[in-house]
Amino acid sequence: MASKASAVWTGSLKEGKGTISTATGVLHNANYSFATRFEGAASGTTPEEMVAAAHASCFSMALGAQLGGAGFTPEKIETEAAVTLAKTDGGFAITKIALTSTAKVPGASKEAFETAAANAKTGCPISKLFANNTEITLDAKLV
């Protein structure tokens, strides 16, 4: 299975602008620009925001799978991902992804939950994508 998206960019880096669309239509001509990416402008998205959404959703699904494999059915898993873009010696790079997750899992012990969360962190495909070049932290709590 291949998921598809497209981007269109017009103009120079600082003055230009672009749109991003996904094949499913979930994103349709979503705006992005230098200002949204590097200056904190609120009207538009960034590649890093989309990576954050991808990682939060991937981790949540992976945690659900890990808990299910251990015999638990999560009632709710909420995950946030904060992606840090920083200037490095090699140029700009995603240097850190901080995952923060809370889960309500009836019957799960703290130990079982922590094991499932650790396995989900390393096993989620988005984590694997960044594993060798980006610091990934996890703050997971059973509520």
> What's residue 43's pLDDT?
86
In tens, the pLDDT along 110-127 reads: 999 999 999 999 999 999
In tens, the pLDDT along 34-88 reads: 999 989 888 899 999 999 999 999 999 999 999 999 999 999 999 999 999 999 9
Q: Is the pLDDT of residue 135 over 90?
A: yes
In tens, the pLDDT along 86-95 reads: 999 989 999 9
CB 73 within 8 A of CB 42: no
How is 2-41 classified by DSSP, letter by letter? Answer: ---EEEEEES-TTT-EEEEEETTSSSSSEEEEHHHHHS--
3-state class of 109 per DSSP? coil
List 105's β-bridge partners, or say none: none
The whole-number average pLDDT for the span 92-102 is 96
> What's residue 95's pLDDT?
96
> What's residue 1's pLDDT?
86
List, in order of start, the domains of the chain with CATH numbers: 5-38 (no CATH), 47-142 (3.30.300.20)
33 pLDDT band (50/70/90 cuts)?
very high
CB 21 within 8 A of CB 28: yes
Closest CA to 103 of 64, 131, 50, 68: 64
